[in-house]
Structure 1
Amino acid sequence: MLYVLYKIITCSSITWICRKHKVVLISLDFGSLKVTTFADMEGEETFDSSLLGHADEVIEERIADDDVILIKGTKNSSAVSGANDYMLDEMDRALHDALCIVKRTLESNMVVAGGGAVEAALSVYLEYLATTLGSREQLAIAEFAESFLVIPKVVNNIKL
């Protein structure tokens, strides 16, 4: 395990495993800074331990046909990797949106279902309201309630 940590810290011996941007992701996952040289201003090789990151466990496992290095118990809880900067930006925004949704849900203790659920519930309520009325308004409210059911059908057809 120390050998794996040494390989990740020095970065030069694992460049054959991954490109430079993946080494940066690994160092971000550890919470460490990228070190290009151990030489200080006097020319001596030293290393400040504050630059070193932390992980509870670094293990190599075989998943399917690939040997992967799993880093557990780090400061950073998420790292994304993509084909280009545009894809990384989109994944970053999507991850941020998902975390904000979870945060808002936990804060308010309420969830509004999507996929036409609100419209279907409104239709059910208006149908019930229409049955309580005895005038001609009953027909108009019932038709209006039925019109709300078009929205879930359209959403289902376009698979949103």
Structure 2
Amino acid sequence: MLDLSDAVYGKAATPEPVTCGVCHHPSNSHPLQDGARVCTRTLGELPSCADCAAPLRGLRRPDVAPPPATDLMDASDDWTWQQLRDYVVRAVAERHGPGPKADEIKQTAIFKSFSARWGRLAGPIARFAFEQQDGYWRSAPVTVTRFCKGSDPYFAQLIADRLAAGLQRSA
């Protein structure tokens, strides 16, 4: 007789649904030290349930060193590609939380290229994306890859046009 159970095919058994220990909202959960189960969704710096916003104790995010703040002393239209990179990486981490460790070579290429393509507008474009749009563009989070050349017609060009229109109206 053939055994056709999930275990034979390397599939794990489906875990039973669990709920937040505070609001009892069904979600993926994580056992705490006291054995309670709580939502792993997070808001802000410390983990909390997305529905009741109750802070969760026992869960810690890994310590991640913040990127350097080299961009603070210069006007955004005078930023080098390194200052642009530092601003974007810091703004992404502040608004969307820390992400996986970035590939330094890829980031260097993205920001050198973006700075070369957009010149003095590179900094204002980045600032507009994070300060005016709060890190979201067309309902999607702005990340490092949004500054790639392939995103220019859908991201940087539209922001540059808005910035130019704003400057024309104020003149």
TM-score of the aligned structures, taking structure 2 as reference length: 0.21
Greater Rg over alpha carbons, structure: 1
Considering Cα pairs closer than 8 Å and 6+ residues apart, tell me whether 1 or 2 has the greater RCO. Answer: 1
Higher helix share: 1
TM-score of the aligned structures, taking structure 1 as reference length: 0.22
